[in-house]
Amino acid sequence: MTVSAAATERPRTVGIIDDSRTIRALLRATLDADPRLEVVGEAGDPYEARAMIKASSPDVVTLDVEMPRMNGLVFLEHLMRLRPMPVVMVSTRTRERSEDAVRALALGAVDCVDVARLQADAASRVRLVDALVHAAAAKVHPRTAVAATAMTEAATDYRWNGRLVLIGSSTGGVDALERVFASFPKNGPPVIVAQHMPPAFLRSFATRLDSLIAPRVIIPEHDTSINCGTIVIAPGGDQHVGLHPHDPSRVTLVPDDGGQLYVPSVDLLFQSALRHGPNCVAVVLTGMGRDGSQVLRGLKDAGSICLVQDGASAVVDGMPRAARETGAADEVCPLDAIGPAILRLTNANSGRAR
């Protein structure tokens, strides 16, 4: 008899961290019902969580935000610095306060799930299980300070050469984008980002990012002009973002017709740039799936310069791996080399423009 590979794989182990016994019981019942997961420990607060993690070494943990003795986001920050591991936030706070969700993602959480819907919504329970299975396979890196050594030089020696920057990202993208833009000067290149996230999260992310970096960060309206020093974050929800077909200095919002798996879609953003190929730098960052990979090859053929994150630095090497497999990458870069590479490729004063 032949045994399938799926049947022989060991379950991913999970630790549950929540101060509510009721929620812990709900989570355990939900996770125990799926053979891909095995609950190996529970904790009612971060201090208990520390001991639980040390004793059972789970592959992934669920983490609430509001807990006694230590806030969950504070614990997450300590955890990612001292013992980085996959974390999925399971809390009502990440739904009601999208800035908490974005902060958690920026600190290194792989995903956020709304606990309030689990009891009544079977689809939410499936989403939680899938999120934990995927998160358990993510590569979580130690939290380090974002290098900004290039900021002074870039700010004094940057002159835009006319190339637009298009970036696609998904799981792990909040932290990745913050790191990419950390050294950008105030007059950096125009950038359009398609990041897979719910619209409320994207707006909170844009607000957070705008407070952290030198360029201006906006959520665009339809037919918004873009210029140096502006980073555009696609709004998502029921709208995609792309370049205006006849004027690449403007972005348009495209209604979702249900034909795309993700909103905003990296594929549609990249497709909108095909006619402007020689004037673009396209970048694929960490994420699940294949969004953007095939169109990236088209952009390369149209004359764009294509950068792809390497597998070692990606939280999830799905989108980057798919892009690398097409042969589209002009450069494969670790995460912290992508920002400097973009500045080099868009700087008229650079000694190496390609």
Catalytic residues: 170, 196, 291
Residue 233 identity: I
Residue 103 identity: R
The Cα 81–Cα 182 span in angstroms is: 19
The two tokens of residue 218 are 């906006």
On the 0-12 / 13-18 / 19+ scale of CB atoms within 10 A, 77 is middle
Q: Residues 260, 196, 320, 130: what is their CA dihedral angle, to the nearest 10 degrees?
A: -90
The two tokens of residue 46 are 């971060």
Contact in structure between 36 and 12 (CB atoms under 8 Å): yes
Contact in structure between 233 and 245 (CB atoms under 8 Å): no
The Cα 321–Cα 288 span in angstroms is: 10
List the alpha helices (DSSP H) in 157-282: 173-181, 199-212, 266-272
Contact in structure between 126 and 235 (CB atoms under 8 Å): no
Residue 249 DSSP SS3: coil
The two tokens of residue 336 are 């912290």
Residue 38 identity: E
The Cα 208–Cα 228 span in angstroms is: 20
The Cα 58–Cα 67 span in angstroms is: 20
Question: Is the alpha carbon torsion for 179, 103, 265, 223 positive or negative?
Answer: negative
Q: Cis ω on the peptide bond leading into residue 264 (within 30° of 0)?
A: yes
